[in-house]
Structure 1
């Protein structure tokens, strides 16, 4: 049986970890290197590092920060934000990342997914999707540029296409749930699970131990990503894993 993964997320802006609600109201949390090491020692299964303004500000990702984080952790490390080319992917992997997360650049250039998978392997290419429910409740649209721009693209169609192009994993963020602590978007995650066979990391909205249980049992996610709960010390990774074990969900323990 595959173990379910618990993944803290470091949203980084100007070299600091930050957190907001529904992609706005950003507050500074702390130093990414210290937090990365802290979560690694707590028993995190992986770490996700997202430079949340790199695309919007039209600049490259902070390689030096990535290098410093990679030196302190010995678990899979995914990095995203501002990655636009095969050379960018190569540089981030060389800096210490195990995987790259592609969002805006993949929407603009689908070849980046297929070429990235060819050069580095599908396991290195994570498709990040920021999905927001349409006003008419007919589905979800893909947003890019840190949640600022509605592409009008249907999220489920895009995920299906990207997996066919070579994406090896989906980082699925519900913009409606993000930062609200009202629970993951079970419906969205479950629907994505039904259309693809690659692992799904559910992101956005986790507020309790029960939310972790539900996203695994009902949403069929392979991993759960959280930020606020861990950053503000409301839960530790170990507490989450102990709870999941008690509820018959397989997790890795240290």
Structure 2
């Protein structure tokens, strides 16, 4: 499986954030915003917004003299098994906050070894997860999660997936024609969330945005019951805006 060579989402800020974190890490005693700007080449206005996000996520801290130092969240990641557990806990906490913010169940998914894998879910009594009546691994052509992941693959990767998982009709809205499906995926703007309007399950609408970290395709998604469909686009826009911190966590 290969990812498409072009960027799949406007998350250049993640690359910038990594540069900022590298700059802060080089200065154990703290570094000023002006020094960070010189070392990273980032415009002051953009840098200020980025530092605010990094502070909010706990990746950097600002000390009494205004300088920036490495934050607790970055230190807690550590290495090995401890790092993996810390990252998983942090991601789950972030997903829970996002669930409460958008008022919908939220999912973190990856494309691993040629299969769709939902790795983490944040749901609750008022935000129930979608009923997985057909295995997500077999329904990538219909679900927002699956379509978002397939959109990040190259043509051969998509064909390989569909050859192993036939595009069955799950509802009257499901696209089963491979050419039509691939054409829609290619035409979909990378900056716009992928929607599932009752294509996977009658009574449920979903949205997903890509989380591409290195050579791994991933996505962040949400689901809503059909009676809340009027909230889908606003919730999807919020999901899109909040995806960058999650992508940063995956990239560290």
If the length of structure 2 is used for normalisation, what is the TM-score? Answer: 0.28
Q: Judging by fraction of residues, say which structure has more strand.
A: 1
Q: Which has the larger radius of gyration?
A: 2
Structure 1 length as normaliser, TM-score?
Answer: 0.28
Higher share of residues assigned helix: 2
